[in-house]
Amino acid sequence: MQLADLETPQLILDRERLDRNIERLRTRLAPFGVSLRPHVKTNKSADVTRRLGGTDTPLTVSTLKEAEYFLDHGWRDILYAVGMAPSKLPHAERLIRRGARLTIILDNEETAEAVAAFAGARGLDLPVLIEIDTDGHRSGVRPEDEALLRIGARLRGAPGQGAWLAGVLTHSGESYNCRSHEAIEACAEQERAGAVRAAERLRADGHAAPVVSVGSTPTAHFARSLEGVTEVRAGVYVFFDLVMHGVGVCAVEDIALSVLCTVIGHQREKGWLITDAGWMAMSRDRGTARQPVDQGYGLVCDEAGRLIPDLIMADANQEHGIVRHRGDPALTPMLPVGTLLRIVPNHACATAAQFGAYTVVAGGTEVQANWPRFSGWA
Amino acid sequence: MQLADLETPQLILDRERLDRNIERLRTRLAPFGVSLRPHVKTNKSADVTRRLGGTDTPLTVSTLKEAEYFLDHGWRDILYAVGMAPSKLPHAERLIRRGARLTIILDNEETAEAVAAFAGARGLDLPVLIEIDTDGHRSGVRPEDEALLRIGARLRGAPGQGAWLAGVLTHSGESYNCRSHEAIEACAEQERAGAVRAAERLRADGHAAPVVSVGSTPTAHFARSLEGVTEVRAGVYVFFDLVMHGVGVCAVEDIALSVLCTVIGHQREKGWLITDAGWMAMSRDRGTARQPVDQGYGLVCDEAGRLIPDLIMADANQEHGIVRHRGDPALTPMLPVGTLLRIVPNHACATAAQFGAYTVVAGGTEVQANWPRFSGWA
């Protein structure tokens, strides 16, 4: 079967690029002696995740549904890397009783108290990481904050005995705003140093705190030192996208994901091609709008994945895309109705989430496989 | 069951507001003697659509998957209101053979020729509307364009005999950019006059062209004349959203949709509440960013759906939301971990698409029902 045999829009995954991206980070991290714990929130697919490694690969997830799905598919060592809500503890317990080696995170005393009480009452072995805020980006407690030790004090269990402090976790969200390799290196060092410092303070306070977990796709690719770090997390690197290209982490030719669409009409005076991939297919993510080069809703390739110079998806309605020349609409090639195009997305996590499956190719236009993916929370 | 018994995030639909919104447009259009053909791309749910009317209600859809789903649930009179791609004709044929009374649209000669050839070869009864561009917003042919009659000339079949010209369709996309009722009235008149003019030209050229289909949620609510119009389409009016509030079509208290989430942490110095509804739950739609009042990712209500003054969801990561006071973060109420909040979205079509079901309430916090919805294309 060929791409031309499919109804559009479709989510296309180039397996050759996927495998190359996976190998690149594996090779890059090998000398550091750290564990890689991929974040599967990007791919939400057992088929994609199998390319990352067997079911003994430690995983990071962003929802308990991801944890449950990957547990169902054989993975057991799972880190749920969003601050625990006490109301989700019964769900976490069900996963642990079914065999998950689930680690959770939190960043405040109230949650630590609720988690410790629940794990104690239910006799659960529940490792906990304290989330550290190393760049002011989102959640987490600062490495030097007094609250850090107070939170740790709530987690005085030991492995096998209730909730216990397994270590610390941080994420350099600010690394997405970097514009140079030097800036990413600086973010990576800030991420590392802050996490290690927090772990040292907890250890000085009597905790074993063996785990120091850091990571983001940019910092994982450019960190110069990972001293004191035990594991690195990254997610979008398996696909890459235009935001990561804008940060300087990948070439456009590394991006493994695109959306296949069909030209359905024209506005010739305006230099517009109208396609059947709108924001429902691409997502509303306009992550490159804040970068030096705004890519609209994405760059445009031909059916075989070859970039068409200066053609971008400039605007979107729910099921309509507007494609034109980036600079001068008079230069837009008036491709005939029925032409297949592939749009390279701003943000792989957001675009992939709009689809129920990946249509897999290997560099060409022949369909190799169909890999389902899931969505939702409950 | 109460909302507090659910894991978050959840998509909440207030059935009382839904029914009120549906009744409002029905009542408004009754004196005009036009048919209302609701656009179900917003709700993608048989349970929601049943509130709009029985299976004899004519529907508008944005994908053939919607057409297929609603056919499976008993509806037959279905308008697929995105320009036909020739590659989708076999799918359209399957739906017609299964009993759909499917109408398609197109705006160019190439597609008209392909549609006529296909319908002729397959012996299909295929009514076609020509899409008219009345405001330069997206696709369609201008009412005065010479191409209009050339397209019509390709569609010389008759009911029961191949592809035949059933009339014209237009959509005032620009009405979403209006800022006053007077401006919406002007958009509505432009939409009406352009569609009627195009139909008159086709009729003068020998076509029956009985259908004149117009509509958008703003123009449907404010049109002063619908002379010459036979049917009105609107979709988001069943839920409404903050974009429609910004356009002036509804009150915040009319919005039937919200996302239930949980406070999972704080950044007290910054005045931030961290929640477990990020952009994956809300979508990346920032439609109010271009309006006079930017609502961030949404307005914040308590668990019962009562607005908390000046609290907005200011930023989002994939599974994290940042909620703060709109003006002065020092005024953010530091609601405890575990507090349930409901976020009123910018764009109902985009937010609803992130979920697999509606959790239905009727003004309060008691769960009345769970209504599944679907997504995807294939």
Instruction: Supply the DSSP string of B92-161, one letter for each residue.
Output: HHHHHHTT-EEEEEE-SHHHHHHHHHHHHHHT-EEEEEEEE-SSSSSS-B-TT-THHHHHHHT-EEETTE
pLDDT at A66 over 90: yes
Question: Contact B319/A62, CB-based, under 8 Å?
Answer: yes
Collapsed DSSP state (helix, strand, coil) of residue B267: strand
- Place A164 in a pLDDT band, splitting at 50, 70 and 90: very high
Inspect the interface and report whether the beta carbons of A264 and B337 lie closer than 8 Å.
no
A87/B111 Cβ within 8 A? no
Percent with pLDDT over 90 in chain A:
98
CA geometry: angle A368, A369, A372, nearest 5 deg: 155
Q: Closest Cα of chain B to A292: distance in Å?
A: 20
A301 min Cα distance to partner chain B (Å): 19
Query: What confidence score (pLDDT) does residue B198 get?
Result: 98
Query: In the 8-state DSSP scheme, what is residue B183?
Result: H
| A274 at B interface, C-beta within 8 A | yes
Q: What average pLDDT does this structure show over A165-173?
A: 97
The A residues from 74 to 93 touching B (CB cutoff 8 Å) are 82-88, 91
What is the predicted pLDDT for the residue at B158? 85
Distance from CA of A180 to the nearest CA of B (A): 22
According to the model, what pLDDT value does residue B320 have? Answer: 98
The CB-side HSE value for B193 (13 A sphere, CA atoms) comes to 8
What pLDDT is stored for residue A362 in this prediction? Answer: 97
- pLDDT tens column, A279-296: 999 999 999 999 999 999
Percentage of the residues of chain A whose pLDDT score is greater than 70: 100
Token pair belonging to A87: 């109301």
Give yes or no for A303 touching B (CB within 8 A): no
List of chain B residues whose C-beta atoms are within 8 Å of the C-beta of residue A335: none
Whether A160 has a pLDDT exceeding 90, the answer reads: no
Q: Which helix (H) or strand (E) holds A217?
A: helix A217-222
**Is residue B378 less than 8 Å (CB to CB) from chain A?**
yes
Cβ-defined contact of A8 to B377 (cutoff 8 Å): yes
Closest-CA distance of chain A to residue B269, Å: 11
Question: A361 pLDDT exceeds 90?
Answer: yes
Report the alpha-carbon distance of residue A316 to residue A314 in Å, rounded: 7
Alpha helices in A30-142 (DSSP H): 46-52, 64-72, 89-97, 109-122
Q: Is B59 on the interface with A (CB under 8 A)?
A: no
Paired with B213 in beta bridges are B169, B231
pTM value surpassing 0.90: yes
Residue B320: which of A88, A106, A139 has the nearest Cβ?
A139
pLDDT tens-place string over residues A228-276: 999 999 999 999 999 999 999 999 999 999 999 999 999 999 999 999 9
Q: How far apart are CA B26 and CA B212, in angstroms?
A: 19
Can you read off the two tokens belonging to residue B81? 């209101």
Give me the residue from B10, B284, B375 closest to A283, CB to CB. Answer: B284
A377 touches chain B (CB under 8 A): yes
Q: What is the mean pLDDT of chain B?
A: 97
**Any A CB within 8 A of B213 CB:** no
Q: Does A189 contact B at CB distance below 8 Å? A: no
To the question of domain B17-238 being in CATH 3.20.20.10, the answer is: yes
Taking contacts as CB-CB distances below 8 angstroms, the residues of chain A near B7 are 64, 87-88, 91, 377-378
pLDDT of A12 strictly over 90 = yes
Query: Distance (Å, rounded) from C-alpha A62 to C-alpha A323?
Result: 33
- For A61, the enclosing helix (H) or strand (E) is strand A59-61
What's the pLDDT at B139?
96
Q: What is the pLDDT of residue A130?
A: 98
Q: Which helix (H) or strand (E) holds A245?
A: helix A242-247
pLDDT digits (tens, 9 = 90+) for B44-58: 999 999 999 999 999
How does pLDDT run across B94-132, given as a tens digit for each residue?
Answer: 999 999 999 999 999 999 999 999 999 999 999 999 999
For CATH 3.20.20.10, list the domain ranges present in chain B. Answer: 17-238
Find chain B residues with C-beta within 8 A of A107's C-beta: 265
**Least confident segment among A198-202, A213-217, B134-138:** B134-138
User: Is residue A157 very low, low, confident or very high in pLDDT (cuts 50, 70, 90)?
Assistant: confident
The candidate with the shortest Cα–Cα distance to B83, out of A55, A80, A261, is: A261
Q: Distance (Å, rounded) from C-alpha B43 to C-alpha B373?
A: 7
Q: Tally C-beta pairs within 8 A across A and B.
A: 167
Q: What is the pLDDT of residue B378?
A: 78
A267 to chain B nearest CA, in Å? 7
* Residue B157: predicted pLDDT: 85
| Interface residue A228 vs chain B (CB under 8 A) | no
What is A309-377 written as a DSSP string?
Answer: EEEEEEEE-SS-EEEEESS-GGG---PPTT-EEEEEPS-HHHHHTT-SEEEEESSSSB--EEEE-----
Q: What mean pLDDT is predicted for residues B151-162?
A: 92
Pairwise CA distance, residues A138 & A172, whole Å: 9
Per-residue pLDDT at A33 exceeds 90: yes
* B139–chain A Cβ distance below 8 A for any pair: yes
Q: Say which CATH architecture domain B3-10+249-372 belongs to.
A: Beta Barrel (2.40)
Nearest CA in chain A to B85: A264
Task: Give the distance from residue B131's alpha carbon to the nearest chain A alpha carbon, in angstroms.
Answer: 11
Tell me whether A107 touches chain B (CB under 8 Å): yes
Task: Give φ, ψ of B112 to 5 degrees.
Answer: -60, -40
Chain B partners within 8 Å of A276 (Cβ)? 82-83, 85
| Average pLDDT over chain A, rounded to an integer | 97
Q: Which segments of chain A belong to CATH 2.40.37.20?
A: 3-10+249-372
Residues of A in contact with B337 (CB under 8 A): 85-86, 108, 110-111, 114
**What is the ipTM metric for this complex?**
0.97
Q: Exposure pattern of B213-234 as b/e (b: 16+ CB <10 Å)?
A: bbbbbbbbbbbeebeebbbbbb
pLDDT band at A158 (very low <50, low <70, confident <90, very high): confident
Tell me how far apart the terminal alpha carbons of chain A are, to the nearest angstrom. 35
What is the distance between the alpha carbons of residues A143 and A152, in angstroms, rounded to a whole number?
A: 12
CB of B11 less than 8 A from some CB of A: no
Residue of A283, A358, A371 to mutate when probing chain B, most B C-beta within 10 A: A283
Span B25-45, pLDDT tens digits = 999 999 999 999 999 999 999
| Element at A231 (helix H, strand E) | strand A231-232
